[in-house]
């Protein structure tokens, strides 16, 4: 029996690499003398784990650097150089991610992507020809203005003063000064690994959909949405780039739109980029089952997220998929229609989020072992009946 294990991370609990190891361990515990081949392919969709997934898949390396977090505090961070030596991969969550802030610190009015710009700048120093930027898991809503500031762009108010960090300040943007912009657009190709298709503004935009999880109140959401709309108008006037209706512009608090406008970045499905890099289609050839998973799934998971991408590829190959998750909610019919055979929560019953996160490895290995017991019991029964 061949089983491909390809989870995303269980946020703030297990990386995708750790989750794959734990699931594989549960399968192997129960396999006993059963002939079993487990193929581990840790995945990501542009958020946390994207650098690790791509570096591992290509035989690349991790580079460690010092940058600034969403509140401009110095932190240790990283980016990757892929195995070809010509491509860098940056994970915005490593500098501007929500996980870097405590719950009380989350405030998209003031958080900045400046550190992400520093990561891009450090990647440029290596002499690469292409930069892949994963933009999931952000703590920000500044449309990438902070990141561009780190690359030399000046965002000025009506008095010629530079704007302070954060999404709220964009409401006062009067002019964009590109005279010190330091990015070789003629030499570097930029691709953005994006897990959502949301526009920049409106009811499905960056502020309305993702602002609340970053600490935004309804009043803050309205204020941020207006600021992003104003930002888009100024960008259209000063740069000749219209990001107001661009699919994916609202990803990561508008960073998708900012990267498209300033770096001429192409926005692509993050999970498809990673699946291609790890040669997923080849790996599942001849597989009996695919086991994926992440911390939480809902009705949005089918659209641009890791499990949705896995389902599309596995369904085409005729391989059933089981998802192991921390929790699930909502109408999952789109996932079942896409090929999901079953979903199992790793929680043994009503438990607190804190308990589930602290015991994620133990709960995941137990659930994986239960799936293995079911699989092997069915396989043995089928063999006996022949």
User: What does the DSSP 8-state code read for residue 318?
Assistant: T
Q: Which residues of 298-329 are buried (b: 16+ CB within 10 A; e: fewer)?
A: eeebbebbbbbbbbbbbbeeebebbbbbbebe
**pLDDT tens-digit series, residues 221-254:** 999 999 999 999 999 999 999 999 999 999 999 9
- Measured in degrees and rounded to the nearest 5, phi and psi for residue 321 equal -125, 135
Mean pLDDT of the chain: 93
CA distances from 37 to 32, 53, 288 (A): 12, 21, 10
**pLDDT tens-digit series, residues 151-177:** 999 999 999 999 999 999 999 999 999
More confident of the two residues 60 and 299? 60
Band of the pLDDT at 362, cuts 50, 70, 90? Answer: very high
More confident of the two residues 332 and 67? 67
- Determine the average pLDDT of the residues in 182-200: 93
pLDDT given at position 33:
64
Domains of the chain: 2-43+279-385 (3.40.50.10350), 50-271 (3.90.1510.10)
pLDDT given at position 40:
94
Do 249 and 263 form a contact (C-beta atoms < 8 A)?
no
**pLDDT tens-digit series, residues 344-360:** 999 988 888 888 889 99
More confident of the two residues 57 and 112? 112
pLDDT at 312 over 70: yes
- Determine the average pLDDT of the residues in 136-154: 97
DSSP string, 22-39: HHHHHHHHHHTTS--EEE
- Please name the residues in contact with 29: beta carbons below 8 A apart, sequence gap of 6 or more: 365, 369, 372
CA 282 – CA 39 distance, rounded (Å):
11
- Altogether, the residues listed in the chain come to a count of 386
pLDDT given at position 120:
98
- Determine the average pLDDT of the residues in 61-67: 98
**pLDDT tens-digit series, residues 38-58:** 999 999 888 888 999 899 888
> Which of 207, 239, 40, 235 lies closest to 109, judged by CA?
207
pLDDT at 386 over 70: no
Provide the Cα torsion 53, 57, 61, 62; round to 10°. 0
- Measured in degrees and rounded to the nearest 5, phi and psi for residue 112 equal -135, 155
Tell me which of 251-255, 261-265, 294-298 is least confident: 294-298
pLDDT given at position 303:
67
Band of the pLDDT at 376, cuts 50, 70, 90? Answer: confident
Band of the pLDDT at 11, cuts 50, 70, 90? Answer: confident
pLDDT given at position 302:
66
């Amino acid at each position: 029996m061949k089983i491909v294990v390809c989870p995303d991370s269980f946020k703030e609990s297990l990386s995708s690499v750790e989750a794959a190891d734990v699931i594989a361990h549960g399968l192997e515990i129960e396999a006993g003398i059963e002939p079993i081949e487990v193929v581990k392919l840790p995945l990501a969709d542009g958020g946390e784990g994207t650098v690790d997934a791509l570096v591992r898949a290509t035989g690349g390396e991790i580079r460690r650097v010092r940058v600034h977090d969403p509140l401009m505090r110095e932190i240790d961070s990283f980016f990757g150089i892929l195995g070809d030596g010509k491509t860098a991969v940056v994970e915005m969550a490593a500098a501007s991610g929500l996980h870097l802030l405590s719950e009380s610190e989350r405030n998209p009015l003031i958080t900045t992507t400046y550190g992400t710009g520093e990561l891009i700048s450090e990647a440029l120093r290596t002499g690469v020809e292409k930069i892949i930027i994963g933009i999931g898991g952000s703590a920000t809503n500044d449309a990438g203005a902070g990141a561009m500031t780190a690359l030399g762009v000046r965002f000025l108010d009506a008095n010629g003063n530079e704007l302070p960090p954060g999404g709220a300040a964009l409401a006062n943007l009067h002019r964009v000064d590109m005279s010190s912009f330091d990015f070789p657009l003629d030499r570097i190709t930029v691709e953005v690994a994006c897990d959502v298709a949301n526009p920049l503004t409106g009811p499905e935009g960056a502020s309305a959909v993702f602002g609340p999880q970053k600490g935004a109140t309804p009043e803050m959401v309205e204020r941020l949405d207006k600021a992003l709309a104003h930002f888009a108008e100024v960008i259209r006037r000063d740069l000749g780039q219209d990001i107001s209706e661009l699919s994916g512009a609202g990803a990561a608090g508008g960073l998708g739109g900012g990267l498209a406008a300033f770096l001429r970045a192409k926005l692509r499905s993050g999970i498809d980029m990673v699946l291609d890099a790890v040669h997923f289609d080849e790996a599942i050839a001849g597989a009996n089952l695919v086991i994926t998973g992440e911390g939480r799934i809902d009705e949005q998971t089918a659209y641009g997220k890791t499990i949705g991408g896995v389902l599309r590829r596995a369904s085409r190959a005729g391989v059933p998929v089981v998802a192991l998750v921390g929790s699930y909610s909502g109408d999952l019919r789109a996932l079942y229609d896409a090929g999901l055979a079953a979903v199992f929560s790793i929680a043994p019953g009503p438990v607190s989020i804190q308990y589930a996160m602290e015991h994620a490895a133990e709960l995941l290995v137990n659930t994986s072992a239960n799936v293995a017991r079911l699989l092997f019991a069915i396989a043995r029964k089928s063999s006996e009946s022949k």
